[in-house]
Structure formats: structure tokens, C-alpha cells
Amino acid sequence: MSLLDTARDVRERAYAPYSNFKVGAAIRSKSGTIFQGCNVENAAYPEGTCAEAGAIAAMIASGETELVEVCVVADAETPVTPCGGCRQKLAEFGKGEVTVRMATLDGPELTMTLAELLPGAFHKSQMDRS
């Protein structure tokens, strides 16, 4: 299954009773494995957790720490970019040239790199003082 198909498939399993805005994400790790995530809302935190964060958590839980490709799908008129927090998470586990494909259910797509999505991203190396 392609990254896009995986993101579309997992989007259907999102839990979005407050916003009714389902988002699916799929990431490919350096090993080639595809991990998926969807947004999850709840009464205490109605804005919920993000699809990208779920896919990253699944990748980390499996023991992998580097992503090489990302796909995000939502039912919107135009492609939806990852939120700010997810952009930072993606930047921590992927290099600036990693492709992020954002798609709608109707066909429009937008592709950017992580560096384009989050210019000036904070990196762990900035905490190192030599």
C-alpha cells in the first residue's frame, strides 16, 4: 500500500466527535517501514492529538528514530499542513529535505520539504556547548 493510501485508510479510523475533522498521516522510516496515525479527540482535550504525532509515536515504539517521507490527508478544500507542534516533531526525526505530501480526499495536493514547513527549526545540537 502506498503512503497516500495508508494515510487515507487510517484517516477513516480517526476519532473526531467534536470537530468531525478527520486527519490521517503515514510516515516512511529510514528502513522503509510505513507507520500510520490519526487524530484522536476527547472531552478533556477536544482539539485532540494529531495524526502525525501518532505516526511518529508508532515509529519510535517500534525502535526506529528517523523518517524519510510523510503524507497527511484530510477532507478539506485545500491541503492541510501539519500543526506547529507536529512540524517540530517531524523536524526532530527527519532531515530538512524530507518530503511532506499533503492531500485532500478530492485530489488537490501540496508537497513541501520539512525545511520549507518549518524554517529555523530547533535542533538538539543547539543545546550542545563545546
Extract the annotated binding site for Zn(2+). Answer: 50, 83, 86
- SS3 sequence, the chain? CCHHHHHHHHHCCCECCCCCCCEEEEEEECCCCEEEEECECCCCCCCCECHHHHHHHHHHHCCCCCEEEEEEEECCCCCCCCCHHHHHHHHHHCCCCCEEEEEECCCCEEEEEHHHHCCCCCCHHHHCCC
Query: Is 52 an active-site residue?
Result: yes
Please give the annotated binding residues for substrate, written as ranges: 39-45
Please give the annotated binding residues, written as ranges: 39-45, 50, 83, 86
Among residues 47, 52, 64, 77, the one annotated as catalytic is 52
The set of catalytic residues is 52
